[in-house]
Amino acid sequence: MEKNKKETKWPWEDIFGDYSLVPVPNHAQKSGVSMLFVLAGIIATVAVLMGGSALGTQFNVNDAVKAIIGGCAVLTFIGGLIAYIGQQAKSTTYICLRYSFGMQGSQLVGSLLGGFIALGWFAVQTWMFGLIVSSIAPGYWWSSIGFASIWGGLLMMTTAYIGFKALTWLSYLAVPFFILLCLVGLFIGVDKVGGFAEVFAMGNKSSATLYAGITQVIGMFIGAAILIPDILRFAKTGQSAVLAWVLNLALLGLMLIGAVIMTASTGAANIAESLILGGIGLGAFLFVFLGQWTTNDSNLYITALSFNTWIHVEKRYLTIAAGIVGTGIAAYVGFVEGSSLNPFIQFLTVLGTYVPAIGGIMIADYYLYRGVLKEPMNTRYNMNPGMTFSKLNWIGLSMAVVGGYIGGSLVEIGIPAINSLVVAGGLYFVLSYLCDQIKIPREIGNHSINNQGI
């Protein structure tokens, strides 16, 4: 009875599913453990371990560990701040973007995030699924990179179609298995060289700078750090949301270190091949299948949320459309590029260089600009039916472009991800404050939302 009373008082109507355009109601919030497993499902992916293998081919184990710790520290800071914003707003990334970019600006930026980052990751990881299936079961038409990308992508699309509940339960199943198999592979590798001390002692001088290694680690997960409100809006408290993110970044670091050690001890750059060398053929296949499945569920889920801000149909239809497009891209790369890692490297480079500018503006708007306006923390980003947003915040949109270009392309010192975030966020805050002081409008047009979030 009490639950029904609370539901009656909720002023929103969720017509598109999964609260994509409205705040998450209290009765739909999840426990910290649930959030931990869903995030772990995003991290438990072959792409992360292949990224670790890439580090292992460039650095000795000691230098690789330093790069991983440095990159994860930066990601923890950025993602923790944005995770708190998402939980307090109880809204998707794209709703949170309305405050600093305006309604139409948020649709543009949100579609860029969903269409390029999340859908791009779906395509990359579906192609990677095909790549590893091909190495596990070579010589068959169905296991060629292109064909395996097609049937793998379509299978991964199924649970994302069902929604967040399926995502949670699949993570409960896949994540423990994934971590267990990683540990088995790690100890097989360590046993091959005679112990951990021998692993850390082996390896030649690193062929890349520590600086480059940190940049690579940030590039691997900066997209997730900015899009994390899509998942952690379901958390019950801001503290549990931040804690879930921090613990999963610790897991990310451990997985990367494990991949580096497996690479150093077995000499195989492909993680599945490392497991096969240890005699875990079927386990390697299940590891690839479940790890990619949980992550690509999340990628499609986030993509659908982003396009739902301006394509007002049920989220499941957008999920199907995104899955078909992403699978098509993965198949094309598989048939044309084959096993070349160049598309993956180029994708990570763009993400790590320019995308952090958007996160910088979100952080600057919520913590700095609204702090100067003395807006109480517990009322920031509290959306209500009838609330008025600008149609376009010209400072937010322009500084995302300018900050990304200056920080990512013009500044030649420092880490590009940090440069883009700081330059974009700093310019946004300064210009917003100055415009308020000299009475220059920072926003164009007005739009009042209804109880459906439109």
- What is residue 196's predicted lDDT score, i.e. its pLDDT? 72
pLDDT digits (tens, 9 = 90+) for 260-304: 888 777 776 566 666 666 666 666 666 666 666 666 777 787 787
The tokens describing 231, both together, are 């998942």
Lowest mean pLDDT among 179-188, 391-400, 419-428, 434-443: 179-188
Q: Is residue 72 situated within a structural domain? A: yes
Q: Is residue 265 part of a domain?
A: yes
Two structure tokens written together for 116: 């390029």
pLDDT over threshold 50, residue 385: yes
Residue 2 has pLDDT above 90, yes or no: no
Mean pLDDT of 172-180: 66
The pLDDT tens digits of the residues spanning 62-98 come to 899 999 999 999 899 999 999 999 999 999 888 999 9
At residue 4, the pLDDT reads: 44
Look at residue 316 and tell me whether its pLDDT is greater than 70: yes
The three-state (H, E, C) secondary structure of the chain, written as one string: CHHHHHHHHCCCCCCCCCCCCCCCCHHHCECHHHHHHHHHHHHCCHHHHHHHHHHHHHCCHHHHHHHHHHHHHHHHHHHHHHHHHHHHHCCCHHHHCHHHHCHHHHHHHHHHHHHHHHHHHHHHHHHHHHHHHHHHCCCCHHHCHHHHHHHHHHHHHHHHHHCHHHHHHHHHHHHHHHHHHHHHHHHHHHHHHCCHHHHHHCCCCCCCCHHHHHHHHHHHHHHHHHHCHHHHCCECCHHHHHHHHHHHHHHHHHHHHHHHHHHHHHCCCCHHHHHHHCCCHHHHHHHHHHHHHHHHHHHHHHHHHHHCCCCCCCHHHHHHHHHHHHHHHHHHHHHHCCCCCHHHHHHHHHHHHHCHHHHHHHHHHHHHHHHHCCCCHHHCCCCCCCCEEEEEEHHHHHHHHHHHHHHHHHCCCCCHHHHHHHHHHHHHHHHHHHHHHCCCCCEEEEEECCCCCC
Mean pLDDT on 225-237: 91
Give the mean pLDDT of 159-179: 61
User: What's the pTM?
Assistant: 0.83
Whether residue 198 has pLDDT greater than 70: yes
Average pLDDT over residues 350-368: 91
Between residues 431 and 313, the one the model is more confident about: 431
Averaged pLDDT of the chain: 83
Question: Into how many domains does the chain fold?
Answer: 1
- Dihedral of CA atoms 404, 305, 344, 41 in degrees, nearest 10, equals 120
pLDDT for position 270: 62
**Average pLDDT rounded to a whole number, residues 122-148:** 87
Residue 110 lies in a domain: yes
Q: Look at residue 394 and tell me if it is in a domain.
A: no
Range of the domain at 120: 28-338
- Percent of the chain, pLDDT > 90? 35
Segment 131-159 mean pLDDT: 86
Share of the chain above pLDDT 70, in %: 85
Question: Cα–chain-centroid distance for residue 111?
Answer: 15
**Does the pLDDT at position 357 exceed 90?**
yes
**pLDDT classification of 5: cutoffs 50, 70, 90:** very low
**Domain harbouring 310, CATH code:** 1.10.4160.10
**Considering the domain boundaries, does residue 16 fall inside one?**
no
pLDDT band for position 173 (cuts 50, 70, 90): low
Establish if 422 belongs to a structural domain: no
Q: Would 43 be classed as within a structural domain?
A: yes
What per-residue confidence (pLDDT) applies to 329?
Answer: 93
Confirm whether 366 is domain-assigned: no
Asked if pLDDT for residue 338 goes beyond 90, the answer is no
